[in-house]
């Protein structure tokens, strides 16, 4: 076998390993994303005003999701590096402090959501949809602590390379939300408020179920996760924050670009808001694949770093990039070929369908940069490199993407398509800079876990 053939065989083998680790994560992320699709579907059946209100409310709620995901992303690389270094006995203590961090974060985010509801009027959100959006946010805010706790529990499991719970509990949440949301929204007559309560209840059920699983599963018995009660201790929480806050800023910078875009579109009327909500949901569902691959890459890179194996680290990253690019090619085809069909699933308004179809063509354009930036960020997290990626995302998304989108969309009257142009620019710049950062660091000797 030639050298090139042996490298190809190695890449295929590494891709199979990454795929096996990533598949439950992809399905779990897709299930979580499908919960937003269920929200949109139910809201669309309730009426265009409710659809616009839930779209606006979901944009604000996504800030909570982004902050929770970002800060608690400190758990997987910390756990995976300890696991790779053969220091599993230290994982339980880290986990118990991470739970305190998640609880404090979740309580704080309840108030963030409620402040966001109060800010809709000053932001100029269309008055027609504002009351229902406020009601949705007030109800869903009670789920913020559960969301943070759930991410902490799930990240622990992923850090030791056991990703199946993400899939199982993600699907379970989806199965619960659909009938519960319908009952509270239509049968109880609570409208958007009922949908918010349904999401909050579902999140608490997911968090409680996953906690019971981790407590009872023999797979985690040697970690002694719940062996004793420990009060919060500042030093380990500080260490998690030192790693997690830059990750949180990075994730927030990307996600808030989409949130800010949604809120700016919210000033353009219900048709553009509804079209944006449909298109961004379909695009976000496609993004779950590279996101799951990136999360698996974080774990594999972190494990290799803990073991001090630079070759394994580089192959894990290469497999992640290959899988991400393959997934994004398929996503672009799905978005272009099925745009009209996906839009018609959510509404029968011709103007909304036409605009949503156009926006999905824009989404197809940013599939490759979106996949590249996600995978590069995941690989860098595995290296525990967080501060420079944070600066890159601030520059790419808020220094370039949002200002250009606002100029094209509002200043040049380009509407939603103009604002989506800013998304393409921001994601492309982030992909180039984050990818270059990882390539440079991959050539250096590994630091100890």
| Per-residue pLDDT tens digits of the chain, which is 449 residues long | 445 557 888 889 999 999 998 989 888 877 877 787 788 788 888 887 888 888 888 878 877 887 888 889 889 888 988 888 888 888 999 999 999 999 999 999 999 898 888 888 777 777 777 888 899 999 999 999 999 999 999 999 998 888 899 889 989 998 999 999 999 999 998 888 999 999 999 999 999 999 999 999 999 999 989 988 899 999 989 999 988 889 888 888 877 788 788 878 877 877 888 888 888 878 887 888 898 899 899 989 988 988 888 889 999 999 999 999 999 999 999 888 888 888 887 777 888 888 888 999 999 988 999 999 999 999 999 898 989 999 999 999 999 999 999 999 888 878 888 999 999 999 999 999 999 999 999 888 766 54
- Kind plus residue range of the DSSP H or E element containing 146: helix 144-159
Alpha-carbon Rg for the chain in angstroms: 21
Amino acid 36: pLDDT: 77
- Kind plus residue range of the DSSP H or E element containing 381: helix 367-382
Phi, psi of 447 (to 5 degrees): -80, 155
- The closest of 20, 16, 5 to 319, measured between CA atoms, is 16
- The closest of 263, 243, 362 to 59, measured between CA atoms, is 263
Distance, in Å, from the CA atom of 370 to the CA atom of 396, rounded to the nearest integer, reads 12
DSSP 447: P
Using an 8 Å Cβ cutoff, are 174 and 34 in contact? yes
Q: What's the sign of the alpha-carbon dihedral 378, 379, 382, 388?
A: negative
Which residues contact residue 16 at a Cβ distance below 8 angstroms, ignoring those fewer than 6 apart?
Answer: none
- The closest of 87, 77, 205 to 146, measured between CA atoms, is 205
- Kind plus residue range of the DSSP H or E element containing 314: helix 310-346
Exposure b/e, 156-193, CB count within 10 A at least 16 = b: bbbbbbbbebbbbbbbbbbebbbebbbebbeeeebbbb
Amino acid 388: pLDDT: 94
For residue 109, give both structure tokens. 């985010």
Using an 8 Å Cβ cutoff, are 371 and 227 in contact? no
Amino acid 437: pLDDT: 95
* One-character DSSP codes across 227-251: SS-----HHHHHHHHHHHHHHHHHH
Using an 8 Å Cβ cutoff, are 281 and 37 in contact? yes
Phi, psi of 169 (to 5 degrees): -75, -25
Distance, in Å, from the CA atom of 358 to the CA atom of 348, rounded to the nearest integer, reads 16
Distance, in Å, from the CA atom of 95 to the CA atom of 82, rounded to the nearest integer, reads 12
- The closest of 156, 152, 434 to 320, measured between CA atoms, is 434
For residue 364, give both structure tokens. 């197809």
Look at the block and give the residue holding tokens 């070929």: 337
- The closest of 146, 116, 153 to 262, measured between CA atoms, is 116
Distance, in Å, from the CA atom of 342 to the CA atom of 37, rounded to the nearest integer, reads 11
pTM for the complete prediction? 0.81
- CA 273, distance to chain mean position in Å, is 21
């Amino acid at each position: 076998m030639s050298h090139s053939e042996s490298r190809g065989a190695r890449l295929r083998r590494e891709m199979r390993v990454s795929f096996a680790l990533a598949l439950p994560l992809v399905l779990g992320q897709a299930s979580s994303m499908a919960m937003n699709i269920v929200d949109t579907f139910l809201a669309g059946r309730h009426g265009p005003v409710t659809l616009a209100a839930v779209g606006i409310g979901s944009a604000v709620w996504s800030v909570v999701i982004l902050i929770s995901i970002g800060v608690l992303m400190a758990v997987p690389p910390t756990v995976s590096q300890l696991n790779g270094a053969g220091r599993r006995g230290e994982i339980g203590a880290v986990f118990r402090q991470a739970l305190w961090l998640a609880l404090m974060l979740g309580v704080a985010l309840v108030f963030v959501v409620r402040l966001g509801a109060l800010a809709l009027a000053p932001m100029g959100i269309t008055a027609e949809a504002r009351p229902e959006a406020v009601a949705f946010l007030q109800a869903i805010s009670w789920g913020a602590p559960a969301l943070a706790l759930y991410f902490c529990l799930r990240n622990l499991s992923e850090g030791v390379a056991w990703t199946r719970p993400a899939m199982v509990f993600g699907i379970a949440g989806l199965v619960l939300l659909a009938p519960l949301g319908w009952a509270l929204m239509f049968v109880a007559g609570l409208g958007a408020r009922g949908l918010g309560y349904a999401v909050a209840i579902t999140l608490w059920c997911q968090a409680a179920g996953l906690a019971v699983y981790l407590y009872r599963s023999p797979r985690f018995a040697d970690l002694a996760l719940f062996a004793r009660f420990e009060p919060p201790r500042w030093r380990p929480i500080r260490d998690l924050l030192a790693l997690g806050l830059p990750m949180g800023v990075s994730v927030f910078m990307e996600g808030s670009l989409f949130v800010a875009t949604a809120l700016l579109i919210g000033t353009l009327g219900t048709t553009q808001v509804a079209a944006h909500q449909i298109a961004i949901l379909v695009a976000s569902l496609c993004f779950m694949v590279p996101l799951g691959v990136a999360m698996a890459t974080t774990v594999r890179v972190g494990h290799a770093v803990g073991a001090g194996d630079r070759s394994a680290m580089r192959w894990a990253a290469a497999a992640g990039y290959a899988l991400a690019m393959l997934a994004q090619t398929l996503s672009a085809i799905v978005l272009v070929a099925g745009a009209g069909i996906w839009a018609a699933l959510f509404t029968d308004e011709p103007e909304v369908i036409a605009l949503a179809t156009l926006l999905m063509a824009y989404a197809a354009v940013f599939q490759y940069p979106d996949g590249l930036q996600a995978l590069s960020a995941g690989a860098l997290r595995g290296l525990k490199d967080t501060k420079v990626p944070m600066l890159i995302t601030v520059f790419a998304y808020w220094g370039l993407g949002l200002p250009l989108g606002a100029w094209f969309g509002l200043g040049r009257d380009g509407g939603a398509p103009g604002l989506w142009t800013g998304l393409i620019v921001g994601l492309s710049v982030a992909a180039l800079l984050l990818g270059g950062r990882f390539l440079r660091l991959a050539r250096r000797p590994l630091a100890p876990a």
